[in-house]
Amino acid sequence: MSPPTTARQWIVAKKPTGQVHLSGPDATFALEPTPLPALSPNQLLLQPLYLSNDPAQRPWIQAGTDPERAYTPPAKQGQPMRAFGVIAKVVTSTSGNFAEGDLVSGMLEWTEYTVVDATSVQKLPEVAGIPTTAFLGALGGTGLTAYFGLLEVGHCKASDVVVVSGAAGATGQMVVQIAKKMIGCKKVVGIAGSAEKCKTVESLGADVCVNYKDADFDSQLKKATDEFADLYFDNVGGKILDAMLTRVKREGRIVACGAISAYNDQSAGAIHNWFEIISNRIAVKGFIVTDHLARAAIAREELVAAFKAGKIQISGDQETVVDTKFEDIPKTWVMLFAGGNTGKLVTKIV
Amino acid sequence: MSPPTTARQWIVAKKPTGQVHLSGPDATFALEPTPLPALSPNQLLLQPLYLSNDPAQRPWIQAGTDPERAYTPPAKQGQPMRAFGVIAKVVTSTSGNFAEGDLVSGMLEWTEYTVVDATSVQKLPEVAGIPTTAFLGALGGTGLTAYFGLLEVGHCKASDVVVVSGAAGATGQMVVQIAKKMIGCKKVVGIAGSAEKCKTVESLGADVCVNYKDADFDSQLKKATDEFADLYFDNVGGKILDAMLTRVKREGRIVACGAISAYNDQSAGAIHNWFEIISNRIAVKGFIVTDHLARAAIAREELVAAFKAGKIQISGDQETVVDTKFEDIPKTWVMLFAGGNTGKLVTKIV
């Protein structure tokens, strides 16, 4: 079979201000064909197999974002939609380091095929018992977010009571495991959105997990944090952050990692308990994993070592892999904001 | 004249949930007589002359405050209203360290007369050119708040662009002076609530002061912070904090010192721009001056030295002294929340 000379790609057609639109005149994304160049030396023709879906892609495409203030350099209208992690198969290689059929990971786009320089992707190592998709999750951006957020930003230590929101999410599951099984924290409390998610979180080592959709969430949270929290790892912002501001210990710390509740609707993210930061002398630090990637290889090695020692789980259970036709990629992506997935949401292109 | 045996005092009659009420069935304060005990050895009979009025008194009397979470231990209903600083005259003394007519300062109450242990108050030093009321302001809690907030919490240095809100207030005026004249900051931007207040702030050394009541406040603030702020000293919370969250530099710092905008109406204090903390990796630290008072004497000496060297002003201009009948003390106090005063609001009992 001769290699393809064109590929379909999903472009950012209209940057949203409020909700993402899957169809209609304001559709956020559009499917377009693009020509594929012939390979120069040291290049690869790749076929994306798995796409990482990350809340951070949402601010990336937000309309009107000031490039100077953005989380990451904002998307350009008309350009392909980017994923923060993609696993792809090498179709053709002009590099001595890659062979046809190799699996690689990198910051790629929502394309059927793409041509890249061989230096821009990493060949996936093989570790017995670790599924391929873990390189988008537990050993990818989300696992590193948990690792660096706890250790380098939150200065987490064994004597800490740690609370993590979005605990059943990709980052949250790793926060629970690293805090409880690697650092040995005194108590780890998860916050998640269903009884089933909470069960998963407790199975990963959380002392207790509270369902924020329960009518008595506030009193459950109060009970779970009867000693207050030394460290709150916030993945969600909004009402849960507001509740947690009243449960962080005097001189406690907050790692501000995500605010998914506010990405599609800013008013849902309003914070009313700011004064708690003052009256309880709380320290808050905003944090983005990309600032810490210089130490990514070391962190990944520590995580793999903890896995091999049986301390933490890195399994397919931590990913929700959704079989998705290429033309349905945006539909799977918006599942992120419906709160339906447990662990990393991964698109498997079928 | 024989010493008084009873005194009137203002008690906290009904803790407010929303607005403070000056009269009616929900009146926050009530005037009551109390007997004065005879002096034991080493005691003083004091007559309060000047009362410090501080936003922090508001959360102190808030209904339903959890003592474990409060800024300071909450007020008890039926107990006298406390001021964070009072200057009083010694009427009678059984202590060798104090003579009739001496002026003292301490954490006293809204009383006509009071009997205290001599060790609980400090005799006021006399510094030529410094008015008595400065010991409630520039050399009292507010000046020390500015000093410790900038230096110990904000790690302020000469290369910083500093923004301070409530810049015409008692703390704000000292923040401006300490940042510009003592630390030598690159740029100091004030935010205040009138053109006149802004003039005062600029006269104290601010490079520019922006009036948040101007219709084009946002664009004025943007212009004043075209390089963004390294350090934001927040005295007000609410909408101004929300605006400033978009103007703090990547990896910048916020000293969370006050939230006066929200003390009487929590909804006015809602924060919508929390995500800026994440995307710009901002560090926020809540702060209360009482945690730093072990070094108060050193700080006060440095401030007096800067005054003697002509670097900073410590004058009656920084206080708004309101002549007030004893029965009108609450009326003067609520002026704090109307934004009418420039500098420290001091009640002079007449």
Residue B305: inside a domain, yes or no?
A: no
User: Residue B10: in which H helix or E strand, if any?
Assistant: strand B6-12
Residue B304: inside a domain, yes or no?
A: no
Interface of A with B (CB under 8 A): 59, 69-71, 237, 241, 246, 256-259, 262, 266-267, 269-272, 274-288, 291
* A126 and A242 co-located in one domain: no
Residue A31: inside a domain, yes or no?
A: no
Number of domains within chain B: 2
pLDDT, residue B124, reads 84
- Contact list in B for residue A260 (CB cut-off 8 A) is none
- Contact list in B for residue A269 (CB cut-off 8 A) is 272, 274-275
Residue B301: inside a domain, yes or no?
A: no
And the tokens for A15?
Answer: 């940057």
* A320 and A194 co-located in one domain: no
- Contact list in A for residue B256 (CB cut-off 8 A) is 274, 277-278
Host domain of residue B323: 6-138+314-349
- Contact list in A for residue B281 (CB cut-off 8 A) is 285-288, 291
| CATH number of B225's domain | 3.40.50.720
* B30 and B133 co-located in one domain: yes
Separation CA A232–CA A164 (nearest Å): 6
pLDDT, residue A179, reads 98
Instruction: Name the H helices within B158-274.
Output: 170-177, 195-203, 217-224, 238-245, 260-263
Span B132-191, pLDDT tens digits? 888 888 888 889 999 999 999 999 999 999 999 999 988 999 999 999 999 999 999 999
Chain-chain contact of A283 with B281 (C-beta, under 8 angstroms): no
Q: Which of B277, B282, B292 to mutate to test the interface with A (most CBs of A within 10 A)?
A: B277
Residue A32: inside a domain, yes or no?
A: no
Span B4-15, pLDDT tens digits? 999 999 999 999
* B100 and B175 co-located in one domain: no
Q: Which of B239, B240, B279 to mutate to test the interface with A (most CBs of A within 10 A)?
A: B279
By C-alpha distance, the chain B residue nearest A235 is B278
Evaluate whether A98 touches A66 at the Cβ level (below 8 Å). Answer: no
Residue A306: inside a domain, yes or no?
A: no
Mean pLDDT of B20-28: 93
Three-class SS of residue B29? strand
- Nearest CA-CA distance, residue B292 and chain A, Å: 12
* B70 and B158 co-located in one domain: no
And the tokens for B45?
Answer: 């009979």
Domain boundary among B290, B325, B340: B290
* B114 and B163 co-located in one domain: no
* A154 and A273 co-located in one domain: yes
Mean pLDDT of A310-326: 85
* B74 and B151 co-located in one domain: no
ipTM value = 0.83
Residue A96: inside a domain, yes or no?
A: yes
Q: Write the DSSP symbol of residue B46.
A: E
pLDDT, residue A317, reads 65
| CATH number of B101's domain | 3.90.180.10
Span B270-323, pLDDT tens digits? 899 999 999 899 999 999 988 888 888 789 889 999 999 999 988 666 678 999
Chain-chain contact of A286 with B278 (C-beta, under 8 angstroms): yes
Angle at A115 between CA A110 and CA A117, to 5 degrees: 115
* A89 and A198 co-located in one domain: no
Residue A42: inside a domain, yes or no?
A: yes
Separation CA B244–CA B273 (nearest Å): 9
Q: Which of A279, A290, A292 to mutate to test the interface with B (most CBs of B within 10 A)?
A: A279
Query: B50, exposed or middle or buried, with CB in 10 Å at 0-12, 13-18, 19+?
Result: buried
* A131 and A149 co-located in one domain: no
Separation CA B149–CA B257 (nearest Å): 8
Give CA separation, B298 vs A35, B53, B147, B211, B218, in Å: 72, 24, 11, 34, 39
pLDDT grade, residue B338 (50/70/90)? confident
* A175 and A51 co-located in one domain: no
Of B262, B278, B287, the CB nearest to A275: B262
Separation CA B30–CA B51 (nearest Å): 17
* A174 and A261 co-located in one domain: yes
Asked if the model's pLDDT at residue A339 lies above 80, the reply is no
